[in-house]
A = this chain, B = another copy of it.
Amino acid sequence: MKEKIKIGMIGLGGRGMGLLRLVILNMSDVEVVALCDRYEDRQTKAADKVEEKQGSRPFVTIDYQEVLSIDEIDAVIISTSWADHIDIAIASMEAGKYVATEVGGAYSVQECWRLVEAYERTKIPCMILENCCYGRDELMVLNMVKQGLFGEIVHCAGGYQHDLRDEIAYGYENRHYRLDNYINRNCENYPTHEIGPIARILDINRGNRMVSLVSMASKAKGMKEYIKNEKSHDSELAKLDFMQGDIVTTIIKCAHGETITITLDTTLPRYYSRGFTVRGTKGMYTEENQSVYIDGSHDHYQSWNKNWGNAEEFREKYEHPIWSKFLEEGVQGGHGGADWLVLADFFESVKKGTQTPLDVYDMASWMCISTLSEDSIAMGGHPIAIPDFTNGKWITRQ
Partner of A271, one of B246, B281, B304: B304
Residues of A that sit less than 8 Å from B by CB:
151-152, 154-155, 162-163, 212-214, 216-219, 221-222, 225-226, 245-247, 249, 251, 253, 256-259, 261, 265, 268-273, 279-284, 286, 288-291, 293-296, 298, 300-302, 304-305, 307-309, 379-383
Q: Nearest Cβ distance between residue A225 and chain B, in whole angstroms?
A: 4
Q: Nearest Cβ distance between residue A280 and chain B, in whole angstroms?
A: 7
Interface centre among A219, A245, A308 (most CB of B within 10 A): A219
Contact status A279-B288, CB under 8 Å: no
Contact status B154-A258, CB under 8 Å: no
Q: Which residue of B lies closest to A223 (CB)?
A: B281
Complex Cα distance A283/B268, Å?
A: 8
Contact status A279-B270, CB under 8 Å: yes
Contact status B218-A154, CB under 8 Å: yes
B contact residues around A309 at 8 Å (CB): 305, 308
Contact status B268-A284, CB under 8 Å: yes
Contact status A269-B295, CB under 8 Å: yes
Contact status A222-B271, CB under 8 Å: no
Copies of this subunit:
2
Complex Cα distance A189/B279, Å?
A: 20
B contact residues around A290 at 8 Å (CB): 305
Contact status A293-B272, CB under 8 Å: no
Contact status B308-A152, CB under 8 Å: no
B contact residues around A291 at 8 Å (CB): 271
Contact status A258-B214, CB under 8 Å: no
Contact status A155-B286, CB under 8 Å: no
Q: List 15 A-B contacts (CB under 8 A).
A: A154-B218, A154-B219, A155-B218, A212-B381, A216-B259, A219-B258, A249-B251, A268-B281, A269-B281, A269-B282, A269-B295, A288-B289, A305-B309, A308-B309, A381-B381
Contact status A218-B382, CB under 8 Å: no
Q: Nearest Cβ distance between residue A86 and chain B, in whole angstroms?
A: 27
A152-B289 contact, Cβ under 8 Å, with A251-B251, A269-B300, A273-B304: no
Contact status A270-B251, CB under 8 Å: no
Complex Cα distance A249/B214, Å?
A: 11
Contact status B163-A279, CB under 8 Å: no
Q: Which residue of B lies closest to A213 (CB)?
A: B381
Complex Cα distance A283/B271, Å?
A: 10
Q: Which residue of B lies closest to A269 (CB)?
A: B295
Complex Cα distance A258/B280, Å?
A: 31
B contact residues around A217 at 8 Å (CB): 259
A300-B272 contact, Cβ under 8 Å, with A247-B259, A258-B218, A290-B305: yes
Q: Nearest Cβ distance between residue A271 and chain B, in whole angstroms?
A: 4
Contact status B271-A218, CB under 8 Å: no
Which are the 9 A-B pairs with shortest beta-carbon distances?
A219-B257, A269-B295, A271-B304, A288-B288, A381-B383, A218-B259, A155-B247, A214-B381, A214-B214
